[in-house]
Chain A
């Protein structure tokens, strides 16, 4: 059974293992740069995010992180990011994480959820379009597309 819940400090090592188990393409898709390893400092920043501005969720199965979703509040909205372990795609994990992020954003009174997706990441684009996001050109970077969902 997969459980979705807030990311906790105690999840740090499981979260690091999740990131390091992602395929290079998935890791690049999530972080948008070549992540060779998650340094202790970066891990701490990602796991101990400021709860006043961040919402970070994990999907857990048998103690392993199999998905991660988060948003950071911006002016009136939030920017989100999401990743699912390669072996757990198309099993509803991403959908549940996104639904939980949307529910949290609505509770927070946010008006929209934004994101950036690499233009080659057709799987992610299909996923967010199905969830109701609109897709737009990125004003500054041709490698990226902007996605947005009005809440």
Chain B
């Protein structure tokens, strides 16, 4: 007998979708964290070259104003 018999596929799909969303969110959060870290390493001079002030970094990344976002 196939052990998967009796498993509700909608449940599996729903669980998988949640897991997939969680992974995507984690990747997105990691990518934003990396973007913030990279921007924080730049000098004030270079930040101004790209139209940012140091205090705006987090906001800019989270609001999708940068290519990483």
Contact = CB atoms under 8 A, between A and B. Distances in A.
Interface of A: 31-33, 39, 41-42, 44-46, 48-50, 53-54, 70, 72, 79, 81, 116
B44 A49 contact: no
Given A32-B44, A70-B49, A45 B67 contact: yes
Interface residues of B, number: 15
B49 A81 contact: yes
16 contacts: A31-B42, A31-B45, A31-B49, A32-B45, A32-B46, A41-B38, A41-B66, A41-B68, A42-B46, A45-B50, A45-B67, A46-B49, A50-B51, A72-B49, A72-B51, A116-B45
B65 to A, nearest CB: 9
B51 A42 contact: no
Judged by DSSP, the binding face of A is: mixed
Contacts of B67: 41, 44-45, 48
A39 B38 contact: yes
B41 A33 contact: yes
Contacts of A42: 38, 42, 46, 50
